[in-house]
Structures are given as structure tokens and as C-alpha cells.
């Protein structure tokens, strides 16, 4: 019996593999690959999928699981750490973008309710795409990375009230006040449900289930909680997506949230792919080719509008212009949750006909452009910063009290006060080295100033900030920040102002080493290879390689720019192969067993070096290590000998230590 849906699933996944592979090679997010897959297989493409309705049902499940996992990942503790970016930054960005879009939509003749809904759609940005990109670029802990994350968290939350308000915008109710009261009552009921369930019901239920240690029962329980709460909210007249988010929020407050998330993620990824494919299937390719100029202009307009507002919002938070530009460009596109919201708008008649197709077209274009925008953002920011702009705008408006930096000479400048910066500052303080710290996190600056640290707020990519730290008279400059673009600019400025300073850069990736050296850095320390050096050092020590040889090897590795780790063979290094230092020689351990001819005899009596060519380096007796043992010391049962010699001779001695005397 032929099953049309099964055929369509095979077609979707088969084509998706090919498209995603190409997108991976081009460094385009998987979301865009799924959208393109939907365009190809949809009714407006090649028409390869027939069971469109069934695919949409699978897409609904994907929406539920997507919002469920977001609810699980939502952490109040994490929210408090970046609360300013979430509450102030997120609310300002969403509100200003919404108002600007509302004004523009009204100017183009849209009805008031539809204009509000379009404002909702444009105000959101993609958490999945942006976080993946900034994680790959190691910028999550940078100032612009933290701010971007905070605004995205607020957007993920605000989607819930947007879904609640959408039916009211359709104008189906004649008494708006009554509808708002009903909405508030439902909201209060939902809050009570979440509180009671998270506090008492779900933790106890999951505890009893976890006691069974049955993974299948636990997984089914999590799915039932997700779908059950979604079903309850649907019966109450709310959306499935809202219920799924609340279900995730309930589980997030229990100690079983990580296990639940791990069980759900594979299902989420599979079903969410159907959601993005279904969105691509809805795009009318003919409509796209009929008005390519208009669609591209609208997409560019949305990108410029959103990036400008997000940049302005970040400036209002007090961040420097560099961070503000990077945040603005990262948030310039339209979000995947806008597609979820758009489906609700279609159901209520707020987005129909050409408007819906226009939204799909420019949204997909903006998402496809996001990876390239984020990649080019540092260069764009650098070009803008070269313009004659007010210094106050460039350095930021955050009211952090400046401390008086005493004039220093031959001092140490530490840029970035993370883990590395703190350790360097602590060592400098203990040894009496004069130092000054530059940091862009205003909260950190306030706290450390209260502790007496010589730290002040500033963007070290600005010449005035480095001059304030007496860069011309510094002996050493250490750059320990996560922003690759900012690190390059700081290196160039520091070298330009001080030709004699010793500049040490911490970077996470090897590909950053060459450009930093070209900009004037004296030492570039890549974290990924320093970890390898430390592990390698401990391995060699465990194999009893002499310490001076280990230190020479480490010095050689660092002096040639970690070339040993970058290539498999390195002819120029005499230490690239340890075996070259000791040809045909191995270090081994042997245990002296009972009835062995070695028991009770000394090294002088056995003459291992003379007869066998084997040297005893040390003896482990019980828990004690006897290095360089005395030649007259007798061997005991269960002694462990550390011996050095040719492999065949070591094998002979091993037989001697084990076999009884003949």
C-alpha cells in the first residue's frame, strides 16, 4: 500500500541533505537550507510534495517542540545576569521597531490592526541563527554578544503576548474592553497554573518517574506534559505554541530540565525542519520573480531599519559605538518566530494575499543575508568609526565614574577583565608591577573600582582610551578579550603609539595569529594550542622524559608559532619526534615477582647494564619512588623497576623479573 506522506518525507529529507550540505560548505545556516528545500519541493516550485496538509501538521508539532525547548532553556538566573540588556534593551528595541514599522505601514495604506501585526512581525529576530553564528565566532561573552543575547531573550518572551493579542487585532470582537478583561483573566489563570505546576505538581511527578530509572517512561512523561499543557491552552482558546512554551517553563524550574531537554532535542530538530520546509513551500516563486526589485528594496529597508534601531537602543544602554553597530547588524533580519506569528495572522485575516507572499519573500531574503552581514559587520564598524564622530558617541554614554589614572612609566596595560585579565592583574599586584585595566562591562568596572582596582570603563579600540592609559609609556600590553575584530584594531593602535611595547594577545583560534603578528603583536597565544601544550607536557612527564627536554620542546613549539601542531611533519624541528632523541630505546616498567632471580640481589650483583644494556632509572617500592637507586640496594618482591634500554634487551630483563630461577 502506497503512503503519500512517507514518499513526501523521503523526498523532503533526501533533498534537504543535499541542500544542507551545500549550505554548510557556503557557511549558510541550516534554517535557510530548509527554507530553500521547501521552495524546491513546494507547489510553487517543482511540486514534488503532494501531502501538503500533512506536512503542515508535522510543522505544527515542530512549532510546539520548538517553543517547548525554549521554555525549558529559559533560566531566571541567566536572565538576571543580563537583566539590563533583556529588560531595557529588549523592550526598547521591540517597541521602537514596532512603532517605526507601524508608522510606515500606515503611510502605505494598511489598516490599523494589520499595521500593528506587521510591526509585530518585523520587530523579532532569529535567536537560532544569531546564537549559532556568534558561538562559531567565539563572541558570546563579548559585550556585543551578551547584549545581543539579552535582546533576543526578550524577543523570545514577547512572542507569547503577541500571540495572545493577535485575535484582538482581527476586530472579531465588538467589545475590546471585555476582550482585554478576558485576556487578563486567562493570563492570571495561566500564571497560577505555571506557578502551582512548577512548584508542587511536576517536580513530584517527575521524581516518582525518575525513580523507575526507565528512560522510555521518562521520555513519554515529558512529551505528555508538553502536549497536555498545549492542549489545555488550546481548549481555553489560546494557541498551542503558548501552551508548549508554558510547559517548558514549568519543567525548567525542576532538577530534571536538562534530562528532559536532552530527550526532546532530537525530536525538535526533526519536526522543526518540517516547519521551515513548510514555510518555504508557501513562498510563491512566481511572485518573487514578478516583483524582484520591490522585494529586494523592502528587504533592504527592513535590514536598515532594524539595524539602525537596534544600534540606537544599544547606544542608549551606554555601550560604545563599536558594540552598538555589531549588535544592530546582528539583529537586522526577521525571525523564524515571525513565521509562527504570521501563520496566526493568516488564520485571523491579518495577513492575506500579496501581503503574506511579500512578507515571506523579504523575510527569507533577510535571513539568508544574515551570515554574510555578521561576517562583514566588524569591517563595516571599523569604517564607521573612522568618520569624524563625537567622542562621547564613540566611547559610550554609560555614567561610570572615571578614576584618576596616575601617570605611569614602564607599566602594564590589561585590556579585558575576564578570567585571564584577572589572573594577570593578581600576579602583577603580588609582584608589585604597576598596571591599569581597561574594561567595557560597566557593572564589572563599578564593582572592581569599589574594590580598589585601577580599572576604568572604555572601548580600547579608541585611541583616546589607550592614550588615557598612557599607552606611549607602557612596557607591556596584554589584550585578553573575545572580540577578534576589536583585538586586531587594539593591536594596530597600540603598536602605532608605542613601537617598544611588548604586546601579548590572547586569541581562541589559530587563524587569528598571522594577521595579529602582521599588525605588530610580539606574542599571540592561541588558547586551543596552549591547552594542547599543557596536555602534551604532562604526557611527556608521565613517560619520564627529562624535564629539560620537555621545556626545550615546549619552547620550540611556541617559538615556531605552534607549527608542530599545525602540520603532521616538521623537518626543521629537532624535537618534532621524540624517538629521534633516543633511537631504538624505550622506557618501560617491570614488576619483580616472587621466586624471581632478582629478589634479594642488588644492581651490582646482577649487572643489568653490563650484561643486558639496560639501566634502572628508579624503583617504586610500596608507595615510595626511589630515584637513582644505590647499586648495593637489594630488590624486593613487588618492586616496580623503571628501566631504559633497547626493546629486545628490556624484554629479556622482563622475563628475568617474572620467571623463577632455573
**pLDDT tens by residue, 146-189:** 788 788 878 877 877 787 788 778 765 555 556 567 767 776 78
Q: pLDDT tier at 575 (50, 70, 90 boundaries)?
A: very low
Return the closest-CA partner of residue 409 out of 490, 469, 453.
469
**Whether the predicted pLDDT of 68 surpasses 50:** yes
Number of other residues whose CB lies within 10 A of the CB of residue 409: 10
Q: Are residues 110 and 206 in the same domain?
A: yes
Q: Are residues 108 and 218 in the same domain?
A: yes
Question: Can you give the pLDDT at residue 248?
Answer: 84
Q: Are residues 91 and 208 in the same domain?
A: yes
Q: Is 47 contained in some domain?
A: no
Radius of gyration of the chain (CA): 32
**Whether the predicted pLDDT of 651 surpasses 50:** yes
**Whether the predicted pLDDT of 47 surpasses 70:** yes
Could you tell me whether strands 523-526 and 502-507 are parallel, antiparallel, or unpaired per DSSP bridges?
parallel
Cα separation of 234 and 217, whole Å? Answer: 25
For the ranges 118-122, 197-201, 425-429, 471-475, the lowest mean pLDDT is seen at 197-201
Q: Are residues 149 and 234 in the same domain?
A: yes
Q: Is 34 contained in some domain?
A: no
For the ranges 316-330, 404-418, 548-562, the lowest mean pLDDT is seen at 548-562
Q: Are residues 206 and 146 in the same domain?
A: yes
Q: What is the mean pLDDT of residues 236-242?
A: 70
Q: Are residues 596 and 576 in the same domain?
A: no
Q: Is 205 contained in some domain?
A: yes
Question: Can you give the pLDDT at residue 539?
Answer: 81
Q: Are residues 474 and 556 in the same domain?
A: no
CATH number of the domain encompassing residue 341: 1.20.1530.20
**Total-model pTM:** 0.64
Q: Are residues 319 and 458 in the same domain?
A: no
Cell of 510: 589559530
> Is 357 in contact with 283 (CB distance < 8 Å)?
yes
Q: Which residue range is the domain that position 461 belongs to?
A: 399-521
Cell of 627: 630515584
Q: Are residues 614 and 538 in the same domain?
A: no
CATH number of the domain encompassing residue 624: 3.30.70.1450
Q: Is 45 contained in some domain?
A: no
Question: Can you give the pLDDT at residue 328?
Answer: 94
Cα separation of 76 and 83, whole Å? Answer: 10
369-391 tens-digit pLDDT: 888 898 888 888 878 877 888 87
Q: pLDDT tier at 570 (50, 70, 90 boundaries)?
A: very low
**Whether the predicted pLDDT of 662 surpasses 50:** no
Question: Of residues 532 and 433, which shows the higher confidence score?
Answer: 433
CA distance readout (Å), 494 to 177, 273, 395, 489, 512: 62, 47, 17, 9, 17
Q: Is 461 contained in some domain?
A: yes
Q: Is 13 contained in some domain?
A: no
Cα separation of 549 and 45, whole Å? Answer: 66
- Give CA torsion, residues 193, 194, 200, 201, to 10 deg: 70
Query: Longest C-alpha distance within the chain, in Å?
Result: 109
Q: What is the mean pLDDT of residues 585-609?
A: 82
**Whether the predicted pLDDT of 308 surpasses 70:** yes
Q: Are residues 321 and 460 in the same domain?
A: no
Cα separation of 512 and 567, whole Å? Answer: 17
Strands (E), 431-488: 435-439, 455-457, 476-479
Q: What is the 3-state secondary structure (H, E, C) of 573-618?
A: CCCCCHHHCCCCCEEEEEECCCCCCCECCEHHHHCHHHHHCCEEEE
Cell of 363: 523575510
Question: Of residues 607 and 574, which shows the higher confidence score?
Answer: 607
**Whether the predicted pLDDT of 238 surpasses 70:** no
Boundary (domain end) residue, out of 357, 384, 411: 384
Q: Are residues 576 and 590 in the same domain?
A: no
For the chain, give the mean pLDDT: 80
Question: Of residues 234 and 291, which shows the higher confidence score?
Answer: 291
558-567 tens-digit pLDDT: 666 565 555 4
Number of domains in the chain: 4
**Whether the predicted pLDDT of 571 surpasses 50:** no
Question: Can you give the pLDDT at residue 14?
Answer: 93
Question: Can you give the pLDDT at residue 658?
Answer: 63
Q: Are residues 319 and 405 in the same domain?
A: no
Amino acid at each position: 500500500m502506497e503512503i503519500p506522506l512517507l514518499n513526501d518525507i523521503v523526498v523532503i529529507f533526501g533533498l534537504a541533505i543535499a541542500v544542507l550540505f551545500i549550505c554548510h560548505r557556503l557557511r549558510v545556516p541550516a534554517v535557510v537550507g530548509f527554507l530553500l528545500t521547501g521552495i524546491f519541493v513546494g507547489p510553487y516550485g517543482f511540486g514534488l510534495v503532494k501531502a501538503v496538509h500533512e506536512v503542515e501538521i508535522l510543522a505544527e508539532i515542530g512549532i510546539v517542540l520548538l517553543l517547548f525547548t525554549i521554555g525549558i532553556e529559559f533560566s531566571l538566573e541567566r536572565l538576571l545576569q543580563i537583566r539590563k540588556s533583556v529588560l531595557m534593551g529588549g523592550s526598547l528595541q521591540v517597541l521602537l521597531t514596532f512603532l517605526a514599522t507601524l508608522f510606515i505601514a500606515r503611510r502605505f495604506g494598511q489598516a490599523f490592526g494589520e499595521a500593528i501585526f506587521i510591526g509585530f512581525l518585523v520587530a523579532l529576530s532569529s535567536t537560532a541563527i544569531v546564537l549559532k553564528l556568534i558561538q562559531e565566532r567565539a563572541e558570546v561573552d563579548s559585550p556585543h554578544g551578551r547584549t545581543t543575547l539579552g535582546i533576543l531573550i526578550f524577543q523570545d518572551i514577547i512572542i507569547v503576548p503577541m500571540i495572545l493579542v493577535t485575535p484582538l487585532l482581527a476586530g472579531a470582537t465588538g467589545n475590546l474592553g471585555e476582550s482585554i478583561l478576558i485576556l487578563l483573566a486567562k493570563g492570571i489563570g495561566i500564571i497560577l497554573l505555571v506557578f502551582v505546576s512548577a512548584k508542587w505538581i511536576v517536580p513530584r511527578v517527575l521524581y516518582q518517574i525518575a525513580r523507575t530509572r526507565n528512560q522510555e517512561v521518562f521520555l513519554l512523561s515529558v512529551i505528555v506534559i508538553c502536549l497536555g499543557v498545549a492542549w489545555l491552552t488550546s481548549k481555553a482558546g489560546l494557541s498551542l505554541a503558548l501552551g508548549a512554551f508554558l510547559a517548558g517553563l514549568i519543567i525548567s524550574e525542576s532538577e530534571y530540565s536538562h534530562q528532559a531537554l536532552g530527550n526532546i532535542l532530537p525530536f525538535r530538530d526533526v519536526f522543526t525542519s518540517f516547519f521551515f520546509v513548510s514555510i518555504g513551500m508557501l513562498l510563491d516563486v512566481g511572485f518573487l520573480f514578478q516583483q524582484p526589485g520591490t522585494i529586494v528594496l523592502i528587504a533592504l529597508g527592513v535590514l536598515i531599519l532594524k539595524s539602525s534601531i537596534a544600534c540606537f537602543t544599544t547606544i542608549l544602554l551606554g555601550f560604545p559605538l563599536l558594540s552598538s553597530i555589531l549588535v544592530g547588524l546582528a539583529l537586522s533580519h526577521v525571525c523564524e518566530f515571525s513565521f509562527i506569528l504570521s501563520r496566526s495572522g493568516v488564520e485571523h485575516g491579518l495577513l492575506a494575499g500579496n501581503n503574506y507572499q511579500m512578507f515571506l519573500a523579504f523575510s527569507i531574503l533577510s535571513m539568508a543575508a544574515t551570515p554574510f552581514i555578521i561576517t562583514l559587520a566588524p569591517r563595516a564598524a571599523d569604517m564607521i568609526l573612522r568618520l569624524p564622530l563625537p567622542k562621547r558617541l564613540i566611547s559610550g554614554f554609560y555614567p561610570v565614574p572615571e578614576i584618576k589614572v596616575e601617570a605611569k612609566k614602564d607599566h602594564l596595560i590589561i585590556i579585558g577583565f575576564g578570567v585571564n585579565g584577572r589572573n594577570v592583574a593578581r600576579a602583577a599586584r603580588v609582584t608589585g608591577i604597576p598596571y591599569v585595566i581597561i574594561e567595557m562591562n560597566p557593572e564589572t568596572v563599578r564593582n572592581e573600582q569599589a574594590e580598589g582596582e585601577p580599572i576604568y570603563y572604555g572601548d580600547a579600540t579608541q585611541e583616546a582610551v589607550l592614550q588615557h592609559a598612557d599607552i606611549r609609556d607602557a612596557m607591556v600590553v596584554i589584550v585578553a578579550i573575545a572580540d577578534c575584530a576589536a583585538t586586531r584594531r587594539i593591536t594596530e593602535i597600540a603598536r602605532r603609539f608605542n613601537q617598544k611595547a611588548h604586546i601579548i594577545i590572547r586569541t581562541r583560534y589559530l587563524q587569528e595569529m598571522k594577521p595579529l603578528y602582521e599588525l605588530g603583536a610580539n606574542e599571540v597565544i592561541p588558547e586551543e594550542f596552549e591547552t594542547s601544550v599543557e596536555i602534551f607536557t604532562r604526557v611527556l612527564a608521565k613517560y619520564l622524559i627529562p624535564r629539560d627536554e620537555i621545556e626545550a620542546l615546549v619552547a620550540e613549539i611556541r617559538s615556531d608559532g605552534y607549527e608542530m601542531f599545525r602540520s603532521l611533519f616538521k623537518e626543521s624541528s629537532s624535537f618534532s619526534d621524540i624517538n629521534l632523541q633516543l633511537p631504538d630505546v624505550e622506557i618501560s616498567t617491570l614488576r619483580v615477582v616472587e621466586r624471581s632471580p632478582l629478589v634479594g640481589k642488588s644492581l651490582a650483583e646482577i649487572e643489568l647494564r653490563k650484561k643486558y644494556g639496560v639501566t634502572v632509572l628508579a624503583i617504586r617500592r610500596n608507595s615510595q619512588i626511589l630515584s637513582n637507586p644505590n647499586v648495593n640496594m637489594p630488590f624486593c618482591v613487588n618492586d616496580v623497576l623503571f628501566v631504559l634500554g633497547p626493546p629486545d634487551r628490556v624484554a629479556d630483563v622482563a622475563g628475568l623479573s617474572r620467571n623463577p630461577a632455573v
